[in-house]
Amino acid sequence: MLSAVSSSRLPSCLQILFLLEPLRPPYTEALHLPTNKLRERSPSPMRDFLIPSPLPTRRNRTFSASARASEGPVYSGVCKCFSRSKGHGFITPSDGGSDIFVHISDIEGEYVPVEGDEVTYKLCHIPPKHEKVQAVEVNIVHLKPGSKHETWGGHIITS
């Protein structure tokens, strides 16, 4: 294999070939599967389609939906769970109803919510049927004592 040999030890005619040949790592053949072992990918019916999120984020919520939510009452609850990597979480209402979905774009303030944080929020109906609600304008009013909190910038503090 020419790429593994020093070009100074080659005759001049081979040095030119050596310079023209692209360098490649040794044993590249071992990295590839034999052609009889290759798997065909089945065509995915969803590959050519982009499906919009069914949940209205702050960015794609209509002005009228945002206005209705802003005019509504303020509720309180406790953060049940929140995943920054997934971009959503759930709030358990103080009045004991079912858990309420919250999208990352609806969190106000500088801290990422964690389980046990006390929050206030307003409600916004989720289209198209408007049967379910999600929390919007979510504010952390009391950080859970003794827990580590991360800022949106990545700094960690202990409360």
How far is C-alpha 31 from the geometric centre of its chain's CA atoms?
A: 32
64, amino acid identity: S
Residue ranges of alpha helices (H) inside the chain are: 12-20, 63-71
Let me know if domain 63-152 sits in CATH 3.40.50.300. no
Residue 43 pLDDT > 90, yes or no? no
Over residues 59-102, the pLDDT tens digits come to: 555 656 666 666 779 999 999 999 999 989 999 999 988 999 99
Hey, is 6 helix, strand or coil? coil
Domain residue extents for the chain: 2-37, 63-152
Hey, is 156 helix, strand or coil? strand
Nearest to 83 by CA among 106, 114, 109, 122: 114
pTM of the model: 0.59
